[in-house]
Amino acid sequence: MVNHRTVDANGTLLHIAEEGEGPLVVLLHGFPELWYSWRHQFAPLAAAGYHVVAPDQRGYGRSDRPEGVEPYNLLSLVGDVIGLVHALGERQAVVVGHDWGAPVAWHTALLRPDVVRGVAGLSVPPPFRGDRAPLEAFRELYEGRFYWNYIETPGVADAEFGADVRAGLRRCLHGLSGDNPANESPAVPLIPPGTGFLDLYPEPKELPAWLTEADLDVYAAEFTASGFTGPLNWYRNADRNWILTAPWAGAALQVPGLYVAGDRDVVTAFPGMRELIPVLPQLVPTLREPVILPGCGHWTQQEQPDEVNEALLDFLGSL
């Protein structure tokens, strides 16, 4: 049974969902998600003997939502994870992240290998710091049409997602899934001038099998209450994160790692990804061979929970 409480993680109050006893496994969600995106992982991992904890990350759901952009920088988010591990009375944990949760997981492992005994990233591979600030680089590469550049303007994407929360989430969750025929050959999300992010994803005729109306109710209720500004501020820190992580440029991951992605995930279409993913184990020697899930889109652990659970349990058992 999943239980809920609030913990103080280095001064940030985080709402967490948890189940089970044993070695700690921390699950970090992405955008626009919640602890709830790990709903299919709790029981299997707990049954295998793990203490499974999924927070609403900073800015999301029932966790703290600081004002301003800067509090959502990557080092502060890593600090939340370390604070959470210690607040739970543990010295070490395995950290698993999806979407934006994946960079937080990878960097937590990179910066604090004494705390992280294993790390897994879903959708987003390990951190490779480019030679230019990303918002600037994407603006030049895609003439300002890349969706990060659309999001970086305060208030714009916030208003778009907030106009009809439930409809926007439905379009986003279906649009980026493997069930969207357009993702059979995934492409980088580019937003034409005068349009918005959700314009890329039409209203679906029906929900995909992995997403129920009750699931959508959970997401819609939480985002209606909390809004989207905190979550979107994660994107607005992309260039700041590039500066803050400069001391670790070229640093090697020291702990065992796992990467899982769907072959219909738009992230795999980002610049250089198709060349990067096959050679990840050569570039990161502590990383296992990537697990690529056929027919799976961006919402990895929700779309194909059995396959993800199998991969995670195999990885956890090897540590």
CA dist., res. 147 & res. 187, Å (int):
12
SS3 string, 258-297, reads EEEEECCCHHHHCCCHHHHHHHHHHHCCCECCCEEECCCC
* Non-local CB neighbours of 191 within 8 Å, separated by 6+ positions: 145, 146, 147, 150, 197, 199, 200
Q: Are strands 291-293 and 257-262 parallel, antiparallel or unpaired?
A: parallel
One-letter amino acid at 141 equals L
CA dist., res. 31 & res. 122, Å (int):
13
Tokens found for residue 287: 């990383």
Q: Which residues are catalytic?
A: 99, 298
Using only C-alpha atoms, what is the Rg of the chain? 18
Angle separating helix axes 213-226 and 165-175, nearest 10 degrees: 120
One-letter amino acid at 184 equals E
CA dist., res. 40 & res. 4, Å (int):
16
Tokens found for residue 44: 């299997």
Asked whether the bond before 44 is cis by omega within 30 degrees of 0, the reply is no
Place of tokens 């059979």: 184
Angle separating helix axes 101-111 and 74-87, nearest 10 degrees: 70
Residue 29 DSSP SS3:
coil
Q: How many other C-beta atoms are found inside a 10 Å radius of the C-beta of residue 249?
A: 12
